[in-house]
Amino acid sequence: MFEQFYPYEYAQSVFSIDYDKLYELGYRGLIFDVDNTLVHHGDPSTEEVDAFLLELQSRGFRVVLLSDNETSRLESFTAKTHIPFIPDAGKPSPKGYEAALEKLGLERSEAIVIGDQMFTDIRGANASGLASILVHYVTVPGQRIGKRRYVEKALLVLWRKSGRLHQRLGFVERPL
């Protein structure tokens, strides 16, 4: 019942993922959510995020951004990196995930979704047959979280107890 929301792995941040291990596991494509995954909701990209995405590409990964945001937001976000993107994805519908795979030019088994929401990013990845990593959402001091985040916390507890569905990639987080 809850399995549709369970990620393959969990990491504190996109920066704490062991991308060398993902590469060793055969992943060549990275499908990133934007808001609260790479930057706080609505914020522009940062020098750190731009350098990070370009570094991943230089290491042999194909990268695409998959977002429910409009084209103008993503054009602005990728202005310095020219990372390809899929706007108005309609997550968790598989349609956007299929478009991301097509843009990457990879098979399902070669791509992984990285996002901050179980109800959209992870559910959509699962519905599309894609592996996924849930990252802790980007926060700012004094930020209040919505009801969905509390439900996600409960689902994470169930996921950690699930055994066979927990750490399906063999733990891909490295210390920050």
- pLDDT 10s digits, 53-85: 999 999 999 999 999 999 999 999 999 999 999
Q: What are the structural domains of the chain? A: 3-161 (3.40.50.1000)
Give percent above pLDDT 90 in the chain.
Answer: 77
Enumerate the H helices of 59-127 as residue ranges: 71-77, 94-104, 123-127
pLDDT, tens digit (0-9, with 9 covering 90-100), for 3-60: 899 999 999 999 999 999 999 999 999 999 999 999 999 999 999 999 999 999 999 9
- Residue 142 in this model has a pLDDT that exceeds 80: no
Closest among 8, 28, 20 to 132, alpha carbons compared: 8
Is pTM beyond 0.85? Reply is yes
Q: Indicate the helix (H) or strand (E) that contains 113.
A: strand 111-115
In the predicted model, what is the mean pLDDT of residues 152-170?
Answer: 83
pLDDT on residue 162 = 80
The pLDDT confidence band at residue 176, using thresholds 50, 70 and 90, is low
Contact between residue 35 and residue 41 where contact means Cβ atoms under 8 Å apart: yes
Residue 175: pLDDT above 70?
A: no
